[in-house]
Amino acid sequence: MPEVSTGDFVVPGDFLATAEEFVPGNGAYEENGKIYAANTGVVLVDARTKHISVFSRTAGVPTLKRGDIIIGRIEEVRDQNATVVIGSLRGREDRALPPPNLGSIHISQTDAGYVKDLSREFRVGDIVRAKVINANREPVQLSTVGEDLGVIVAFCSRCRTPLTRQGKKLVCESCGNVEFRKMANDYRKGVL
């Protein structure tokens, strides 16, 4: 059974239940197998669907859900996955996100076509716009499949100067280096 019951008042960080018993719903998040309140509000325990949620009368801390668009920074690129530090949620840029703040883009979720080399699509330090495809796992599963998703700002891997788009390639105006990325259609337009 959960530590709280329907109607209980909670504040951010209050322990609600274990992830073995329940799934975090609106206003709740999972960290290390435990479910916590993400905002101040009233608890709703749904025993039928095994969801535990916190409902607030005010706009509380944003929580990620499937279909949300995030902005993040590429932290690491491996053969099959790129790790993203999630910085903000579109539409809720005014509030910090609760944990988990790490996302992962699998090579199969990079582009609509076949991707052979993930390091050609993303580099450490790139700023990306991605869609949440599964927020119930850590790291959060992300996708950049779509014209409006992908790298929105990239930096030269040689001199760290922001790269300028020229057609399908990126060019460094400082050192002349040419690179490629899975770019969003509005690369470096300042739109989040």
Taking only the tens place, the pLDDT of each residue in 14-51 is: 999 998 999 998 889 999 999 999 888 899 999 899 99
155 and 80 fall within a common domain: yes
Are 129 and 161 members of one domain? Answer: yes
Q: Is the distance from CB of 107 to CB of 77 less than 8 angstroms?
A: no
73 and 50 belong to one structural domain: no
Its domain, for residue 118, covers 69-179
Q: For residue 150, give the DSSP letter.
A: E
Q: What is the CATH number of the domain that holds 164?
A: 2.40.50.140
34 in the same domain as 123: no
Taking residues 4-19, report their average pLDDT: 90
**What percentage of the chain reaches a pLDDT higher than 70?**
95
Which CATH number is 20's domain given? 2.40.50.100
Residue 81 counted as domain residue: yes
Least confident of 28-42, 60-74, 89-103, 156-170: 89-103
Q: For residues 160 and 124, is the Cβ–Cβ distance under 8 A?
A: no
Across 48-57, 73-82, 107-116, 119-128, least confident range: 48-57
Give the residue-averaged pLDDT of 103-114: 94
If one counts the domains in the chain, the total is 2
In this structure, the answer to whether residues 46 and 87 fall within a common structural domain is no
Same domain, 43 and 94: no
Contact between 192 and 91 (Cβ < 8 Å): no
pTM of the model: 0.68
Answer yes or no: is 126 within a domain: yes
End-to-end CA distance of the chain: give it in Å, rounded: 41
82 and 45 housed in the same domain: no
- Structural domain contains residue 123: yes
79 and 172 in a single domain? The answer is yes
Are 77 and 41 within one domain? Answer: no
Residues 122-174: tens digit of each pLDDT: 999 999 999 999 988 889 999 999 999 999 999 999 999 999 999 999 999 99
- Note whether 114 and 27 are same-domain residues: no
Domain identity same for 119 and 144: yes
- Report the DSSP pairing between strands 69-77 and 81-89: antiparallel
